[in-house]
Structure 1
Amino acid sequence: MTAPGAEGGAPGPEDVVDAEVVTENAAEAGAAQAPAEEAGGIDERVAELTEALQRERAQFVNFRRRSAEEAQQKVALGKQSIVEKLLPLLDDFDRAREHGHLSDGPLKAFADKLGDVLGGEKVAKFGAPGDRFDPELHEAIQNDGSGVDPVIGQVFRPGYRLGDKVIRHAMVTVTDPDPAAGAAGTPENA
């Protein structure tokens, strides 16, 4: 038997079967390739949607963090506002204490309770005579020293901090350190 079409004759029955097999194999290969291409497209779409979801999740986490920070800042600003309004009252209590009017009685108890409450909220007084002068914390209204290693002489108005934030600078005079205090703090050479 000769090969089909070798002599120019019409295809025989074996040739038709082979053509059908070839057509079926091509259809199966195309069908197998279509799901693979479709699966590749689905994988790309899943990856794209996963990335979008991760971006949205990150934005939401950042939004929650910013919202919490803003709420804390508002609380701190509210505390600062109240403490600033109470500072003149604290100054009056300090003057009364200096004159001996807060030695006992209900006013002393009130001043002590107010001091305890503000201390619990991390309000701290600073600026005492003899402390090292710091221009970031103290407002100098007079300088009686040479400017070398200045310390606080007198305190006209104490400063206050709320946590780490200075809410009022201390109003002070500046002077040189007491030489007797410096000599007493250093050991003598023998």
Structure 2
Amino acid sequence: MTGPEAEPVTVTDKRRIDPETGEVRPEDVADAPESEGEQPDSVDTVDAAIDEVAADAAGSDKEAELLADLQRVHAEYANYRKRAEREKVSAQQYGKGDLIKSLLPVLDDLDRARAHGDLETGPLRAVADKITETLSSAGLAAFGVVGDEFDPALHEAVQNEGDGSRPVIGTVYRQGFRLADRVLRTAMVVVVDGSQSGETPPADTTPQQD
């Protein structure tokens, strides 16, 4: 009894580097992934090619030179990908900062309404809380509190009532905001001496002379 004819077995050499000539073979369409949109990672492809060259190398100068070139190109491409990813994240963060910066006047209005007691109850309080929570979750942080040490990089002094010996914030006219390490707006403050801000001066620990 004769069975069905066996299908011929086909062996395909899928190595990217020809071990005899050392040349890079053209990519075969049949080797592409079956699922659309799933392409092999470029760095992984280069890694595989380098491994094949290293495995097939017989110690000749040509193969060693080809391997060195592949390793150099691979390192340059990996550095390019990392740099491009950092620039992408930076651009996204900067765009988010510009959007949040345009909403700061809304937060100022909410602060004034809260100071007048308009946000104690009612639907406006719920809206204000949601806006504040959303911006805080995006990384927005306020700064500029009475008693904080004055920092000209963070605070804009509209009045100075001290002698400059120990400048601190005495009054806050407008809060400052930062997003991560970026200052979106400086705080507008009145500067006083530390003793004028209501702080208790530190005890004198200098030894007394007899």
Q: Please state which band the TM-score falls in when normalised by the shorter chain.
A: 0.7 to 0.9
Structure 2 counterpart SS, 1:128: coil
- Once the two structures are superposed, residues 34-69 of structure 1 have per-residue CA deviations (whole angstroms, 9 ceiling, x without a partner) of xxxxxxx97111111111101110111012101211
Kindly name which structure, 1 or 2, has the bigger radius of gyration based on alpha carbons. Answer: 1
Asked whether 1:132 is paired with 2:165, we answer: no
User: Aligned partners of 2:108, 2:205: CA distance in 1, in Å?
Assistant: 42
The partner residue of 1:95 within 112, 118, 133 is: 112
User: Aligned partners of 2:203, 2:116: CA distance in 1, in Å?
Assistant: 35
TM-score (norm: length of structure 2) = 0.66
TM-score (norm: length of structure 1) = 0.72
User: Aligned partners of 2:91, 2:61: CA distance in 1, in Å?
Assistant: 45
- Once the two structures are superposed, residues 101-159 of structure 1 have per-residue CA deviations (whole angstroms, 9 ceiling, x without a partner) of 11111111111111111111111000011111111110111111010110111111110
Highest RCO, 1 vs 2 (Cα 8 Å, sep ≥ 6):
1
Give the conservation status (yes or no) of the 8 Å contact 2:167–2:193: yes
User: Aligned partners of 1:186, 1:156: CA distance in 2, in Å?
Assistant: 31
Asked whether 1:86 is paired with 2:103, we answer: yes
User: Aligned partners of 1:139, 1:181: CA distance in 2, in Å?
Assistant: 22
The partner residue of 1:181 within 194, 199, 202 is: 199
Which has a greater percent of helix?
A: 1
Identity percentage of aligned residues: 45
Asked whether 1:107 is paired with 2:107, we answer: no
User: Aligned partners of 2:195, 2:59: CA distance in 1, in Å?
Assistant: 82
Asked whether 1:123 is paired with 2:123, we answer: no
Structure 2 counterpart SS, 1:167: strand
- Aligned-residue CA RMSD (Å): 2.1
